[in-house]
Structure 1
Amino acid sequence: MTIWELDFYSRPLLDDNDKKLWEILICETPTRIQQDPTTLFRYSEFCGNTDVNSITLKTAIEKAIATSGQSPTKIRFFRRQMNNMITKGCEDAGIPAAPSRRTYTLMTWITQREQEVYPQEANYDEKSAKSSSVQYPALNAVPLPDAVRGDKGDKWAIVSLEASAFSDFDEWDIAFGEPFPLNHLDPTTKIPGLLIFSPRAVPLAGWMSGLELGFLHLQKNPRSSLVLETGVSDSWIAADLPNAQTLKEAESFEAAKKAAAGIHFLAIQKNPDAEQFAGFWMLQE
């Protein structure tokens, strides 16, 4: 399965008429733990503001497909304000579009270009240079659907593994999931994770596999819980924190996540004795 990540947005560069240049960026999502993202397919193309439309995007996607020699199964994008144009451009090119905060490789690439590429250009506009990070409005998280949860509720545990423990991840027995490379981390880095135990582990993991899993984070209002952010606008209560002890565990999870550059994981098993995972996703905030 090949997945691409895409951005279509203005950059801090000016054309001959002092109008902002726009850029299409496409990169391949790494799907194995040992891959180096910088060696995977990448495509970039500038265009003027009069060519910012779905036709230009469709043509660029077709060029990328021809250049790479492969057609992705879907294209992820994170900019909600470009939703209609990007969705139409992708679908006109015959590729499903997926609004997603799971565009980790793309965000790293954009940051690298903002720091190392655009400032070196003669037409760089320092006044308009700004971070490409997108702020998402805080939304009320909702419980996971009853249909995929156990009758007596699911249990959970906060755990951690050293980065080196993931070296053979591609050989683990996992029904649903998605990793990404950890090659850039010190092997001793502690990666925190939320492990959910559910009698309906496979249905729960299967349902989650249809979402675009972004990241987990601690939310204290209106009630303390670990919240799973998916797509670009959905929030789910992954674990309630009913007392001071569980809240302390979640705060430790947040601290460990910060120390690991935002990297963490979500895993699902039927019970603590299970030898396989119904689901396992590497995440990053």
Structure 2
Amino acid sequence: MATLSFNSTRIKSPSLQSHKPFSKSHFSTKPNNVPFLFPSKTHPQLHRFKPNSISESSVSVPEEAFDDAEEDDPTSELSYLDSETDPSSVTEWELDFCSRPILDIRGKKIWELVVCDSSLSLQYTKYFPNNVINSVTLKDAMETISEDLGVPLPEKVRFFRSQMQTIITKSCKELGIKPVPSKRCLSLLLWLEERYETIYMRHPGFQKGSKPLLALDNPFPMELPENLFGEKWAFVQLPFSAIREEISSLDERFVFGAGLDLDLLGIEVDDNTLIPGLAVASSRAKPLAGSLDEWIGSVFSRG
């Protein structure tokens, strides 16, 4: 038996920046209001510490009060790195750079950059007006993430929106990063779904009745390329315990494909549960596996 429930505990809720110094290489939160979006009458203001205004001993304010104030502000931005995460271990980012169902004071759609890693140890969001959307803006923003959080630029950046491929690819290549169009951005997709409910719908500029942020693709049937034909095919099934052993090999040796973070999804599967699949026999198994992995990635990146 398998059960499914989204594990939302990994998603960081933005909290006010502490008035005590900290190391950027371990943890940073920078909730920022976006002044060009709304006039002061409709734009919630954050309560912040005012240095030297009162002594720390004269008043005690519960930290939860500031967390609640920040969580109530859907216009805030997030810059976060888990304090227990080694910055050098974050080698792949998942990135989305697209308009949101939110209008600014000019009646134009707001754009947002959302970046995370697969474990959600790194989380970053930033709003942009629609008249600065280009590869230079994205390149500068990626460099800012690296500098502010003290993490190196990633080796790879995964993204799932094909309409943004030109801008993202150009920005990545200028920084020496490999862009990877892929729907294997599970953490990012789940986070965006969560942000739609908790952030975008509560934003003062939210457009009611707007199209879904993550519309499902419905691609037309495609012929399988000849180089992916196997000599024999068979429908098979393996117990989950055997599948788990194969998944562990992704980290231990070079194989094609990618694993699925079941913990993030909150999925529990019994070891004896049979998992269906398709086995392909071929005298050129390794080239076929590589071509199949590349083909699936290119198909999933469309739409």
The equivalent residue for 2:112 is 23
Quote the RMSD (CA, aligned, Å).
Answer: 3.0
* Secondary structure at the counterpart of residue 110 of structure 1: helix
Aligned to 1:232: 301
Aligned counterparts of 1:2 and 1:171: Cα–Cα separation in 2: 19
Cα deviation, residue 212, structure 1? 6.4
2:260 matches 1:180: yes
**Equivalent-residue separation in structure 1 for 2:225 and 2:212 (angstroms):** 36
Q: Is the 8 Å Cα contact of residues 12 and 128 (structure 1) preserved in structure 2?
A: yes
Query: Are 1:192 and 2:260 matched, yes or no?
Result: no
TM superposition shift of 1:96 = 2.2
Q: Does 1:51 align with 2:132?
A: yes
> Hey, what's the Cα distance between the residues in 2 that align with 1:117 and 1:205?
41
Amino acid at match of 1:204: L
- Secondary structure of the 1:83 match is helix
Q: Quick one: structure 1 residues 165 and 136, their matched pair in 2 at CA, closer, same or farther if it must change by over 3 Å?
A: closer
- Which aligned pairs between 1:199-214 and structure 2 lie closer than 5 A? 199-209=283-293, 211=294, 213-214=296-297
Contact conserved, 2:232 with 2:281, CA < 8 A, in 1?
A: yes
Q: TM-score, normalised by structure 2?
A: 0.59
| Ranges of 4+ aligned residues in structure 1 off by more than 6 Å | none
Aligned residue among 119, 126, 143 for 1:62:
143
Provide the secondary structure at the position in 1 that maps to 2:106: coil
Matches of 1:47 and 1:88 in 2, distance apart? 19
Q: CA deviation at 1:190?
A: 5.2
Map 1:1-285 to 2 at 5 A: 2-29=91-118, 37-38=119-120, 40-66=121-147, 67=149, 69-128=151-210, 130-145=212-227, 153-162=231-240, 166=244, 169-171=247-249, 175-177=254-256, 178-183=258-263, 184-188=266-270, 191-209=275-293, 211=294, 213-214=296-297, 230-233=299-302
Aligned pairs, how many? 207
Structure number having the greater strand percentage? 1
Displacement of 1:169 in angstroms is: 3.6
Q: CA deviation at 1:130?
A: 2.4
Give the Cα–Cα distance (whole angstroms) in 1 for the partners of residues 130 and 295 of structure 2: 30
Structure 1 equivalent of residue 49 of structure 2: none
**CA distance 1:52–1:181, change in 2 (3 Å):** same
Query: Which consecutive unaligned segments of at least 5 residues does structure 2 have?
Result: 1-89
Q: Which runs of 5+ in 1 are unaligned?
A: 30-36, 215-228, 235-285
Structure with higher Rg: it is 2
Question: Are residues 87 and 165 of structure 1, via their aligned partners in 2, closer, same or farther at CA, if it must alter by over 3 Å?
Answer: closer
